[in-house]
Structure 1
């Protein structure tokens, strides 16, 4: 009976997108297809196209759904704790949806919800007294950390020229012949233990590493802001 009731529920764009998120959460983004999604919803694939034009639009909508899970801003909060709070909320969201980091990276353009979040980040900096110049450089320095994850420096998928979502690979020691040629990299490759259960994205991006880098950046950004830093002064 519950299954029959579910199948009688009218389709909507929101229901399609949330079902797609649930499918990606359960089976991975590589399992997502219009056919599999239609099967989960108990409809024919063509019924989905009334709500999403194609798989690209489906993926964009899924990203907007999960970005919508980031905690809302706290009114009147100072820029530094406000940024830290929402960035760590974004990271918790990515922990619930491990497919999302590479899905976000795979898009040619940011989605509306993602643009809204990034616009809030810049607006928070500007409201905190940052110049547009410093805010510009802060966004570059923060990079993907603004979204709650760190891009791995040595991304195997990018080296191989592949694009699109893939399953994160655990970090590994360098092969012996590579370690012999690059001893300093080999030394740090195994210098720290990582909490595999808190990894988001790729490689060494566990919770400790993420917060370590985030706090370093925020502290440095705060120092530059207090100094009245400008790129013109730095270039002299």
Structure 2
């Protein structure tokens, strides 16, 4: 039985460290406190171990970040592989849509992961298998490899279940979801748009503006366009 993160240090000490245990503890910390709070010292404290002992299982913090991202990618891959959705002919679109929205459900459990997917350069084997499966659904639907290649580029990060932010919240030092008052007159259209829209469901969001409705709107536009091209190239 897994030991709780809140178990007594003496109890956790009795369980030998392993790379898998270290990485799963890191995922738990990131889920609860954000990836910014993930340090080697805090991870060691959570495991009831000395910080130096972690280096027998992970090389450094970068290795930890790559490892927890691969755990999430594996969770995505295993979850979508359990789906049983016909994809032949016109059914490809619903199959791909369901696969992507299922991947998004996993990411919503790990809201720190999209930022890492954008910043970590190495694509692990689980990510590659996920894309291979996605392309396989398109091939069942009649896509050529050429159109499938275009489709993956068009989907971009949406293929994994998240959309890149329109604006970088960190760029202006603010939340990203507001226009500085001194610039409101210079930016009337953005000011009006931001004043009118509302994203009030934090459980559907992987960024300040990436809520479920916005994500599905963009996804459906892309899938509808690809369906019109299917069979023509």
**Smaller-chain TM-score bracket:** 0.7 to 0.9
* 2:136 counterpart (118, 123, 128): 123
Task: Please name the residue that 2:201 is paired with.
Answer: 196
Aligned length: 219
Q: CA offsets, 1:209-232, max 9 Å, x none? A: 111211222122111114x14xxx
* 1:46 counterpart (42, 52, 56): 52
Give the drift of 1:59.
Answer: 0.7
**Counterparts of residues 122-161 of structure 1 (less than 5 Å):** 122-157=135-170, 159=171
Q: Distance in 2 between matches of 1:72 and 1:201?
A: 19
Task: Please name the residue that 2:3 is paired with.
Answer: none
Q: Is the 8 A contact 2:167 2:176 kept in 1?
A: no
Q: Is the 8 A contact 1:102 1:201 kept in 2?
A: no
Q: TM-score, normalised by structure 2?
A: 0.84
Q: Is the 8 A contact 1:198 1:207 kept in 2?
A: no
Give the drift of 1:153.
Answer: 1.3
- For structure 2, the 5+ residue unaligned runs are 1-6
RMSD of the TM alignment (CA)? 2.3
Task: Please name the residue that 1:10 is paired with.
Answer: 16
Q: CA offsets, 1:161-186, max 9 Å, x none? A: x9xxxxx94622x2344332333333
**Counterparts of residues 15-164 of structure 1 (less than 5 Å):** 15-70=21-76, 71-73=79-81, 74-75=83-84, 77-78=86-87, 79-157=92-170, 159=171
- For structure 1, the 5+ residue unaligned runs are 163-167, 230-236
Q: Is the 8 A contact 1:149 1:200 kept in 2?
A: no
Q: Distance in 2 between matches of 1:146 and 1:76?
A: 17
Give the drift of 1:195.
Answer: 2.8
